[in-house]
Structure 1
Amino acid sequence: MLPVQRKQTIMDHLGQHGAVSIAGLSELLNVSEMTVRRDLKLLEEEGRIRRTHGGAVYHTAAAEPPFEEKKDRHLDVKHRLARYAAEHFVKPDSVILMEGGTTVTCMAGFLHHVGGLTVVTNGLNTLDALKGHAPATSVVCCGGMLRDRSYTFVGPLAEQFFQGIHAHCAFFSASGLTIGQGFADPNMLEVQVKKAMGRAAQTRIMLIDSSKFGNLALLTTFAVHEIDVVVTDRAAPADLLGQLREAGVDVRLAD
């Protein structure tokens, strides 16, 4: 079995069982425990697992940091994903939904070329980033309860608002992605609004940088098959990208 095949088998086994032991993997893969340790070390360096005494578990996304802390992380990559999404998926005279995550908010800087656009958001920072586009762009924000950690509007009022919206496409980000859990986030209120936004759009587009691949979070926002397009960077694990494509997802790598 090739190293890439062993690593994929390890990830599949983790997806089914949540944790693995070195001894168990040695027997499953028919290799030495030293070889298993090397494979686990490489997977940990890729950010996909966390090694434990005698085994490994999925790398779990940490508690949600504040918006101001998140916005500067991997900023160059976020701008590349945002630019690609704006240039390839936002059409003139269309209605788009932009959730309030930091990567999606970056799209605001790349939308000036699009005429007749209507943008609907639940993000206060997204709204602020879009204010310079009016009146050429119609900017709409839902109501609801403002979360101080993300500066997004959530709760029943926000969910009900999006039930009445019909959009061409919706843009999302996520705290983590595994094939088993799908695209995941740590906050229940945030997840419910994203689900409502997803139901309101014909096409669902996920902007997710490679550092989120292999991360778990508390709740699944979208199963893999519920997302139409994933825009990511070239550092994303090739095996996971292959699994996304096998699930019918259109995977785009932003230069």
Structure 2
Amino acid sequence: MLAAERQARIVEEIHRRGAVRVIEFAQMLGVSDMTIRRDLDSLAQQGLLDKVHGGATRRSASTEEPGFEAKSLRQQPEKEAIAKAAAELVSPGTAVGLSAGTTTWALAHVLRQVEGLTIVTNSMRIADVLHARPSADQNVVVVGGVRTPSDALVGPIAVSALAQLHLDIVFLGVHGMAETAGYTTPNLLEADTDRALVAAGRRLVVLADHTKWGTIGLSTIARLGDADVVVSDEGLPHEARSVLAEHVEDLRLVPAEAAAS
């Protein structure tokens, strides 16, 4: 197999799976580990992927910020299944933080059934969902700020408000996650606000479907190990599972059939 053909196969596999290890490429293509590493060096220099320890991940534009409507159409079954699994971590009467995002928005729909919650969010979309069922005996606190394309309220006002709060558990939706970059977002102000939300919570739960692995936004919100729990789906690449298992105490994967249903 010519080098160009081999590298094309590598790029195709990276885009399909999100992340692949060197040893997997070597076995798949019938070449040495050293040959694969040279291919990865070349492809990384061309901007076609990101090299990580032991393999490579899909590269994503660090400043791309799709709007809420566009993001809400992506991986809907997975997000709904992740939301149902995440809701099992919430007990009646607790103080919950929800970052802005389409997966946390899906979680808000499930949390409407839980009595006695105090929910803090920087998302008008989430607030609208929770106010649609006022009989749930819930307190909803919305922090103010500047609105982003993804309908998050961010900036100094939001950060200042969050600094005054103490939450039992925070659910964080992310633009991407990767071994070296951690949990990221393409919006600098949103990163500041999310960091304040994370700091306000005693426990951090990251909600991220499998397509988020290998995507790196412009700014880091938290390191991989800062999360107490990560809830994803079984489409998550095996490399990602291994990396997350090394950093996170509790990795929960929604079964494929649950996502499909």
Fold match, TM over 0.5? yes
The answer (yes or no) to whether the contact 1:185–1:220 under 8 Å persists in 2 is yes
| 4+ long deviations beyond 3 Å | 32-41, 51-54
- Aligned CA RMSD, in angstroms, stands at 2.4
| 1:221 lines up with 2:224 in the alignment | no
For 1:169 and 1:178, locate their aligned partners in 2 and report how far apart those are by CA, in whole Å: 23
Identity %: 30
Q: Which residue of 2 aligns with 1:3?
A: none
Q: Residues 100 and 152 of structure 1 are in contact (CA less than 8 Å); yes or no, is this contact kept in structure 2? A: yes
Corresponding residue of 1:45 = 16
The corresponding residue for 1:250 is 250
Q: Answer with 131-140 or 90-99: which moved more.
A: 131-140
CA contact (8 A) 1:48 1:215 kept: no
Query: Which of 1 and 2 has higher RCO (CA within 8 Å, sep 6+)?
Result: 2
Aligned to 1:239: 239
1:130 is paired with a residue whose SS is: helix
In structure 2, the partner of 1:84 is 85
* 2:98 is aligned with 1:98: yes
Structure 1 residue 236: Cα displacement: 0.2
- Counterpart of 1:55 in structure 2 is 43
Corresponding position of 2:204:
204
| Higher strand content, 1 or 2 | 1
Query: What does 1:44-193 correspond to in 2, within 5 Å?
Result: 44-48=15-19, 54-56=42-44, 57-58=49-50, 59-61=59-61, 63-86=64-87, 88-135=88-135, 136-147=137-148, 149-193=149-193
Assess if the C-alpha contact under 8 Å between 2:155 and 2:193 holds in 1: yes
Q: Shift of the alpha carbon at 1:138?
A: 0.8
Q: How do residues 25-40 of structure 1 correspond to structure 2 at under 5 angstroms?
A: 37=7, 38-40=9-11
Amino acid at match of 1:139: V
Deviation at 1:40, TM superposition (A): 4.6
* More deviation, 40-49/186-195: 40-49
Per-residue deviation, residues 77-134 of structure 1 (Å, max 9, x unmatched): 1111111101x21111000000111110111221233221111100010111111232
Give the alignment's TM-score, normalised by structure 1: 0.80
AA aligned opposite 1:232: S
CA contact (8 A) 2:229 2:248 kept: no
Q: What amino acid is aligned across from residue 237 of structure 2 in structure 1?
A: P
Q: Which runs of 5+ in 2 are unaligned?
A: 21-38, 51-58, 256-261
Q: 1:150 to 1:40 in 2, by over 3 A?
A: closer
Cα offset for 1:180? 0.6
Contact kept in structure 1, 2:19 and 2:239, CA below 8 Å: no
